[in-house]
Amino acid sequence: MLNQISLAAAGFSIIALILLIFQKRTESKITKNLANTLLIILIGIQLLQALYITATLRLADVTVFIYLLFLGFVGPLFYLYSQHILKTDKKWSKYKNWHFFPVLLIALVGFLFPEYFNVAYSFMFLLGGMYMSRLAWSLYQLRIRRTLFKMEFIFTAVFLSWAIAVVLVGILSAQAMDLLIPIQTIMLAMAITAAIHIQLNYPHLLSSLEEIAQRQYQSSTLLNVDCDVIKQRLEDLMHNKHVYQDSELSLLALAEILDLKSHQLSELINTQLGMSFSSYLRQQRIKAAEILLKTEPEVSVLAIGLSVGFSSQSAFYSAFKEFHSMAPGQYRQQILTE
């Protein structure tokens, strides 16, 4: 029964990961390459584990090396991907290649000395745990911005906790591979499901974390900026030109329209309006949706959500509940019956 569930989970997660690779994203080239490499590695892990569960493949010889290599690459890749989001410096430096050297060394030990496979396997998870801890510390250092980004911190903390749980399972159960691999496959599939849910319902999460980091590591950048003029121009863009209707509108794109740097616009919205850029953009879209829900009862809720800039129904519903604690359909019904 456990094997059947794990195989179904592996099949689902492989298909989901392939779809994520081809998903359109607004990240930098390096960040996107890191993300896609991580997704490919996860596909490889799930595929190898599925073949092991069906007894089609044994963890022996070169397969051991590949499997250990894939497991070990997850931690450094996820950490480096996160750092490129959290840090303002987007350049790739050669020293970052050294993150993969311990993984290669441990995989070689497991390959050349089969009797130490369990030790190598445990060390891969321990290495992953170290990277998760470093990433958790990076997020903790951003805690002074938590009042503006409460939801983002909650989701990220939950996701990191789940990743650490996977690490602990790997370390504590290295001696019971036949039981561990199906459980590990299911846990990884659940983590992928959670990531997809967050991506669909909270597509602003990564941009919000990047915005937090920019404000954390820089001093004020508004000394030579007329904030009142910029706020007036921003209001004109939202209320008269309706730029929020662009579902791909980013902090960088809006900043360029206002002749600002992205971190300047981020600071202005944070300090002058008391919210993050993603929260501000959602607020503008929800305000526009409120008007349409009242004045155009013949238009479907989904059509309204898409017309004001939300990329999906789930993203619209999630944002609307954030501001009104009810679904947009309920809001419309309540307004029309008053």
- Which residue, 99, 191, 83, is CA-closest to 136? 83
Structure tokens at 103: 């993984």
Domain count, the chain: 2
273 and 298 housed in the same domain:
yes
| Beta-carbon contacts of residue 126 (< 8 Å; ≥ 6 apart) | 167, 171
- List the structure tokens of 158: 């939950």
Shared domain for 43 and 172, answered yes or no, is yes
pLDDT tier for residue 153 given thresholds of 50, 70 and 90: low
**What letter would DSSP give residue 109?**
H
Q: What is the pLDDT of residue 34?
A: 87
pLDDT band at 312 (very low <50, low <70, confident <90, very high): confident
d(CA 206, CA 224): 29
d(CA 174, CA 176): 6
User: Token match 């993300």: residue?
Assistant: 35
Q: Which amino acid is at 330?
A: Q
Q: How far apart are CA 199 and CA 240, in angstroms?
A: 30
Q: Which of these, 92, 114, 11, lies nearest to 54 by C-alpha position?
A: 11
Structural domain containing residue 264: 222-337
Q: Is the pLDDT of residue 125 over 70?
A: yes
Query: pLDDT-derived band of residue 242, with 50, 70 and 90 as boundaries?
Result: very high
103's CB contacts (< 8 A; 6+ apart) are 69, 72, 73, 76, 124, 127
Higher pLDDT, 103 or 180: 103
Please indicate whether residue 234 or residue 156 has the higher confidence score (pLDDT). Answer: 234
Instruction: Using the 3D structure, point to which of 210, 245, 265 is the last residue of a domain.
Output: 210
Tell me: do 67 and 146 sit in the same domain. Answer: yes
How far apart CA 306 and CA 289 sit, in angstroms, is 10
Instruction: Report d(CA 103, CA 127) in Å as an integer.
Output: 8
Q: Are residues 26 and 78 in the same domain?
A: yes
Between 263 and 296, the more confident residue is 296
Residue 217 within a domain: no
254 and 205 in one domain?
A: no
- Residue 215 belongs to a domain: no
Whole-number pLDDT of residue 217: 44
Question: What is the pLDDT confidence band of residue 166, given thresholds at 50, 70 and 90?
Answer: low
Pair (22, 110) in one structural domain: yes
Question: Which pLDDT tens digit goes with each residue over 212-221?
Answer: 555 554 556 6
Helix, strand, coil percentages in the chain from 3-state DSSP, rounded to 5: 80, 0, 20
**Cα(211)–Cα(255) distance, integer angstroms:** 13
Residues 194 and 279 in one domain: no
What tens digit of pLDDT does each residue of 66-91 get? 999 998 998 899 888 877 766 645 67
> Considering the chain, what is the average pLDDT of its residues?
79
How many CB atoms are closer than 10 A to CB 313?
A: 16
